[in-house]
Structure 1
């Protein structure tokens, strides 16, 4: 029997996770990445336990995760001056499991997956811009990906196409042209700086998040020598600032001294910013024909639940489990099962992310802040464990039984 072929569009976290999983399941995989050198951009991220579980399902064990990232816990929320709003007591084992996170330099997580892709024989083509996708039919013609590199046009026929090309996905546009990302109303500054910047701030590298009027500031260590911070602020879409660092300093002036100190410790070339977009509902189905969507292309959510990377890794693990029997010809059933498992879960997480944004980073000033903070101080942190556990207690499905 000939090898089944997969073209993965996008070489980021979701694309590589899908590529690794499918290659381990016996598929012959090619990854098309638009960036000419293929390296992952970005700064830091927090990976909750379900993301680590997904990495394990892809053959990347927890020991390697600990070597590449920094295991810590989320401590809760404070106000702009650092006063308690909601403190999470991580001494309770059940609570600790729900709030354990791994801080990562995004490039180091990407490197873990890139190494796994090489080890499983995944072919990678950088500088490949996809121009058109023909979706084919599971029991009929193959899918076709048209792409261009330099000035040369290419045409790949595949048994399966995985659209892992992010929030502005060309593959999703080919399947669901009506689905468009929506601006969240906020922009986000991010930086990775030496861990020594924590000295004198009162922060110890555990994840802490500050809530203020229409804004949020978060800090966590991502390695032995680096700390990651982000500043989330309401701004008109497409805002342009002559001096990004001076603008960030001005927006968070008057916040807790530790927040001000971290921004002051940041050099201009360490700072980046992006407008935050999301898919409010996403496509009606994650698959059509022989094409399936994963990661932000399928379910790009607000970052307020910290689940973006984790759900992308889950997608890759689930797709691999379900697609293994599809090598025998039952691709349509596998893709329908993928949609049935992933779409309800990812939509629920996206809804939770929007709710957290409404009561957190997007909440206006004045009395709203006082009422919110007073109400959250009355909530027993243990009462929030079921909410956290619903996201992090995920485990991969059993493989489909061949029909």
Structure 2
């Protein structure tokens, strides 16, 4: 008997889960609210664990190489461009600093192409209205409304809630768990032309962070993460970003100034403190930001969504295939994913407090302490994060 799955959300976590399930032989449908399937955003740093997850989804080294250039995390500078902590400038020196600089649309496109090749059905303009989690003897059900207002019902062995930080599935099944504004907003852009360097560099100032990295031979990505009241709107985002980073390191000012104004995006950063108490309810499993939206200070949002997707296949689908009940397989998924994602969420909060969330009073002391920290301590600390590999692989 062919198992069936409905995935709510066609972003990175949803498509990764769809690929994993379809590859395991499940008949899989993705419901995407947007009229067209795509990814709004700029760049993403694919750390070693993200690359390992992509391999677990059938995207080999060549496919990943086509997404973006090899780079590395070079370290942290202060807002004036003085080094706080330098990391090895050779990505081969440690897997914990090796990255791929990728445009989010390219990553999303590669997952979408793989999903379609595996026969995944993608339904757009599908606004989910109700979710019934089902149970051991009852299937899960999802209803959605299409563009014309017609209602459709889907019955499935499994539903995957992958609809992001403002998840409709989470609201239906975990109504008390709402995202919280972090106090920070983030500008993002991709700039054509030469980059400021071949690596990912981050700069810390008072309650602000700036970062840049290459995403192709002819373009760079930058972000500016700053304290702002929730819901702040500007008529000219580019002009405000130029003003906000005036007086920072010259390379920071240059890359912002070189950005076409229309390329600048900004979004308020919300997170889900602690994540959900369980990632499973009935026949529904939660993945990505819908389950555990974190602060961006660890750069692990896309990576953990990819990890979740792989584990939906390697733990849930594989568990059922081996004769376990779906309930037991889902419990195993929760036991594998929730502790790791909670630890990463705690680390992201701690990183923010010590880094970009720190006010002007303590900048000098923090920088002095970091300059005295051996780089080996930092690289050892990142291996627990970046050294993850998919279940079932050596």
TM-score, length of structure 2 as denominator length = 0.97
Aligned to 2:277: 284
137, 140, 143: which is aligned to 1:143?
A: 140
CA contact (8 A) 1:74 1:208 kept: yes
Q: CA deviation at 1:90?
A: 3.8
Which SS does the other structure have where 2:170 is aligned?
helix
189, 203, 211: which is aligned to 2:204?
A: 211
Aligned to 1:345: 340
373, 385, 392: which is aligned to 2:386?
A: 392
Which consecutive unaligned segments of at least 5 residues does structure 1 have? Answer: none
Alignment of 1:175-254 (within 5 A): 175-196=173-194, 198=195, 203-254=196-247
Which SS does the other structure have where 1:284 is aligned?
coil
Alignment of 1:286-365 (within 5 A): 286-322=279-315, 323-327=317-321, 328=323, 330-365=325-360
Supply the distance in 2 between the matched residues of 1:284 and 1:303 (Cα, whole angstroms). Answer: 21
Supply the distance in 1 between the matched residues of 2:133 and 2:109 (Cα, whole angstroms). Answer: 30
Which SS does the other structure have where 1:131 is aligned?
strand
371, 379, 387: which is aligned to 2:373?
A: 379
252, 258, 262: which is aligned to 2:251?
A: 258
Which consecutive unaligned segments of at least 5 residues does structure 2 have? Answer: none
Aligned to 1:7: 6
158, 169, 172: which is aligned to 1:171?
A: 169
Q: CA deviation at 1:173?
A: 1.1
Give the 4+ runs in structure 1 shifted more than 6 A.
Answer: none
Alignment of 1:103-122 (within 5 A): 103-122=101-120
Which SS does the other structure have where 1:324 is aligned?
helix
Write out per-residue CA displacement over residues 29-59 of structure 1, whole angstroms, 9 at most, x where no aligned residue. Answer: 0000000011111111111010010010110
Q: CA deviation at 1:170?
A: 0.6
Write out per-residue CA displacement over residues 277-313 of structure 1, whole angstroms, 9 at most, x where no aligned residue. Answer: 1111111100000000000001111111111101100
Superposition RMSD in Å = 1.2
Which SS does the other structure have where 2:360 is aligned?
coil
CA contact (8 A) 1:45 1:104 kept: yes
Q: CA deviation at 1:324?
A: 2.4
Q: CA deviation at 1:205?
A: 2.7
CA contact (8 A) 2:133 2:284 kept: yes
Which SS does the other structure have where 1:220 is aligned?
strand
Supply the distance in 2 between the matched residues of 1:235 and 1:191 (Cα, whole angstroms). Answer: 18
CA contact (8 A) 2:70 2:98 kept: yes
Which SS does the other structure have where 1:398 is aligned?
coil
Supply the distance in 1 between the matched residues of 2:162 and 2:91 (Cα, whole angstroms). Answer: 38
86, 99, 102: which is aligned to 1:101?
A: 99
Write out per-residue CA displacement over residues 124-170 of structure 1, whole angstroms, 9 at most, x where no aligned residue. Answer: 00010000100001x21100001010211000000000000000001
Supply the distance in 2 between the matched residues of 1:249 and 1:7 (Cα, whole angstroms). Answer: 44
